[in-house]
Amino acid sequence: MEITRAGDMIKITRINTPLGEMIAGALPEGICLLEFSDRRILNTGYKILSKYLNSPVYEGENEHSELLRKELYEYFEGKRKMFSGNMVLAGTEFQQSVWRDLQNIPFGETRSYSKQAEAINRPGAVRAVANANGLNKIAIVIPCHRVIGEDGSLTGYRGKLWRKRWLLDHERKYSGKAVDQSLF
């Protein structure tokens, strides 16, 4: 499926958050990137995204990145639990199914990788699900931080484990659910 039209470009902008600076990328169709700026391979990620979406990357904003900035601010203030903007999912059909399912995990809750694999009717694909979570290019909005180990432990997060802990604590605080201290 052709995602972009000739002349489309991915516009990249910086967004300051309580967890550090993030980089947002948007096409005319929607957000395609939200990563923490301290990722070592961020430039490589730009190249992969540009190639996958057949779009060059330039600095700038559009209506999607402006909406994302507003909604992230509301999220960090504890006033927003879901994001409303359009997204462009740059990945395989399987990866996209995993990323869509992540959005079904309620704010303030967690799910194990095996439960996530069961939720997409692929119970034997736990490792593939974990790998797809790790390739999620739209942090926080597609809440891969809500997926934990089967034993309740925190596992890998592209944005670093301390941020995953912070996000889970933040969401539990504003969801009214008790914080699970075993995660800390």
Residues 6+ apart with CB under 8 A from 149: 112, 113, 155
d(CA 160, CA 29): 29
- Active-site residue 32, yes or no? no
Catalytic residue among 144, 154, 167, 168: 144
d(CA 152, CA 148): 6
Beta bridge partners of 30: 27
Residue with tokens 């034993």: 151
Q: What is the largest CA-CA distance in the chain?
A: 50
Q: Which residues are catalytic?
A: 144
